[in-house]
Structure 1
Amino acid sequence: MAAPRRRRRLRGPLASAALTWLLALSPGPAPAAAAAPALAPVPVCTADTGPYQWEMEQYLGLSADGRQSAADCEAVRAFQQREHLAPADGSANLATYRTTLVIEERRDPNRDGKCPVRAQRVVCVDLTRQLMWVQRGGTPVYRAVPVRTGRWGQRTREGWHEITERVIDETSELYDDAPMPYAQYFSGGQALHGVYGDLFNGGGSAGCINLRLADAEHLWNTTATGDPVFVWGRKPATD
């Protein structure tokens, strides 16, 4: 029977090398957990009472007293954020109120049948409600959006028209090279086009049908040269 083998102890330089190798393989102390980034505080909603405070309170189901409270401000701001309105500051301004009217009309904008139903696309412009949509066979293919039409003395022309020319990066020759992005001409110099800034600023256009920039771009991608445009009604304060 063979004698059991005795373990040999490492000594001298060989032992030191082995110890160094084992220490290199052993895991070091666990790294400290990274501190979570501090979240920016949400600014307190402090908008003043807007001109359409009572109407927005009614629309949002709030207690309607016409005075802006902190809860009212937060509710209006949340609505503005959902509808991509800027600035979303909680102020019950004209743009916010007009958006509630548009939302109510989106499901059936042509319920009164004033925009004629055709087999092809028709761009429908209601001057009275300051709305525009596109329908085919009575079915909306571009939902109702707010517009700004001609002011008193420069009214948008009513009746049947046709998109005759499209210029994606147009400027006005009559009004100091004013930008007219996504312009679609339908009656002489009158066109559907986008505007930079506030669509609801001022009493009206010089006859064109103004849209918010994103709406004008969407319309550009929906319509084409030759599409009919039907305009009816009367913009308020243009009699």
Structure 2
Amino acid sequence: MVVGALALGGGVAYALAPSAADQAAAMEAPDGTQPASPVEAPASASVQVTQSASPVAPSAQPSPSGPSPSAQPSVAASGANCPTGENQREVEGYLAQIGGYGAVTVDGQQSPADCAAIRKFQTRFGISPPKGRAGPTTVSVARRIALSLTSAELAKCGAGPALTACVDLTLQTMWVVRNGDVVFGPTVIRTGMKGYATPTGTYSVFRRNVKEWSNPYEVWLPYWQNFVRGIGFHATTTYLHRASIGSHGCVNLLYNDAKTLYGTIGMRTPVKVFGHRSGT
């Protein structure tokens, strides 16, 4: 979501642009049932954004994976009833490269251990439903995370020793580095759609708020971190992996990632945005 500032008396109004499908081909049902499409705001509408006096975490923020962050789906220890997806071998290979999700055998055959690792990965990145099926969404996310961990990809950010947030528009991932070490991420993001491309460049966080309230749609923008014009990081209120629902320039994150990022970076943290999102 992008918020563009317009002065109105003593407050600030933010114009919310209309949504359009920029990558309809990326809407993927094979991983499981897709959540219902969210309703986007009309072009003529405006959004009033106010800063909460006492920032507190939203009490019922939706998570892209379905339940709220406090009720994440559990990861089964057994894969006896776990379906095999058309991208089984690719996902196994990427998970072996990424590490941290449990032992996998790269053979294209589903096993209880493979299923547990895939479900754990799906749960971590809000892929719905997290049932261990290695479909197009799962392999896309796994590929992007694996590539973002390579030294060649990390070098594209050009970060120095200071704490820096890196946003890769091409892979639709982001991470935070300090002294060459990754201290957050990489994780998946969703940036501006066609007509609202997230601008590339070097910026810095200049305004933060745990909650931004938007009128008239009565929607919270959780963990808002503004880094250029009306564009910033915030938790998405829609299913992150629906590529057809692009942002209006902002960097959308999964709820828990937005929360962690809020505690990792701060005011004046450099933000480097590079690459190009396909279709924008």
Give the TM-score normalised by structure 1: 0.67
- Corresponding position of 1:15: none
Indicate whether 1:45 and 2:108 are aligned. Answer: no
> How large is the RMSD of aligned CA atoms in angstroms?
2.9
C-alpha displacement at 1:92, in angstroms?
2.3
For the 8 Å contact 2:196–2:248, the answer to whether it is kept is yes
How much does 1:199 deviate? Answer: 1.2
> Which amino acid is the alignment partner of residue 203 of structure 2?
H
User: Residues 153, 109 of structure 1: CA spacing in aligned structure 2 closer, same or farther, 3 A cutoff?
Assistant: farther
Q: CA–CA distance in 2 between the matches of 1:221 and 1:109? A: 25
The aligned counterpart of 2:257 is 215
Judge conservation of contact 2:209–2:223 (CA < 8 Å) in 1. Answer: yes
| Larger of the two Rg values belongs to structure | 1
Query: In 2, Cα distance between the equivalents of 1:226 and 1:136?
Result: 14
| Conservation of the 8 A alpha-carbon contact between 1:94 and 1:200 | no
Aligned to 1:34: none
Alignment match, 2:279: 237
Structure 1 partner of 2:267: 225
Task: Write the distance in 2 (CA, Å) between the matches of 1:225 and 1:138.
Answer: 20
Contact 1:158 1:231 in 2 (8 A): yes
Alignment check: 8 A CA contact 1:57 1:72 kept: no
Moved more, 78-87 or 152-161: 78-87
For structure 2, the 5+ residue unaligned runs are: 1-77, 95-103
Shift of 1:107: 4.0
Identity level (%): 30
Task: Please give the alpha-carbon distance, in whole angstroms, between the structure 2 residues aligned to 1:194 and 1:46.
Answer: 30
**5 Å matches for 1:118-137?**
118-137=160-179
Answering whether residue 114 of structure 2 is matched by residue 72 of structure 1, we say: no
Correspondence for 2:236: 195
Q: 2 CA distance for matches of 1:100 and 1:228?
A: 27
2:197 equivalent among 132, 137, 155:
155
Matches for 1:38-187 after TM superposition, within 5 Å = 45=81, 47=83, 49=85, 52-53=87-88, 55-56=90-91, 59=94, 61-64=105-108, 72=110, 74=112, 77-83=115-121, 84-85=123-124, 86-105=128-147, 107-108=149-150, 111=153, 113-172=155-214, 176-187=217-228
Give the number of aligned pairs.
189
Amino acid at match of 2:227: F
Secondary structure at 2:155's aligned position in 1? coil
Whether contact under 8 Å (2:82, 2:110) holds in the other structure is no
Question: CA 1:172 to 1:187, structure 2 compared with 1: closer, same or farther past 3 Å?
Answer: farther
Matches of 2:139 and 2:233, distance apart in 1: 23
Deviates more, 1:189-198 or 1:216-225: 189-198
**Is contact 1:121-1:134 (8 Å) kept?**
yes
Residues 177 and 188 of structure 1: is their aligned pair in 2 closer, same or farther, counting only changes over 3 Å? farther
- Seen in structure 2, the aligned counterparts of structure 1 residues 177 and 164 have a Cα distance that, compared at 3 Å, is farther
Contact 2:79 2:111 in 1 (8 A): no
TM (norm. structure 2) is: 0.58
Cα displacement string for residues 28-49 of structure 1 (whole angstroms, at most 9, x for unaligned residues): xxxxxxxxxxxxxx79636474
Residues 125 and 231 in structure 1, CA contact (< 8 A), matched pair in contact too: yes
1:55/1:157 CA distance change after superposition, 3 Å? same
Are 2:79 and 2:112, in contact at CA under 8 Å, matched by a contact in 1? no
Distance 1:125 1:232 in 2: 6
CA drift at 1:171: 3.4
- DSSP 3-state at the match of 1:221: helix
Q: Contact 1:106 / 1:143 at 8 angstroms: preserved in 2? A: no
d(CA) in 2 for partners of 1:89, 1:149: 27
What is the CA–CA distance in structure 2 between the aligned matches of 1:90 and 1:122, rounded to whole Å? Answer: 34
Q: 1:110 to 1:139 in 2, by over 3 A?
A: farther
Rounded to whole Å, the distance in 1 between the matches of 2:149 and 2:89 is 24
Deviations 1:187-231 (A, max 9, x none): 121110112452111322111101111111110010001111110
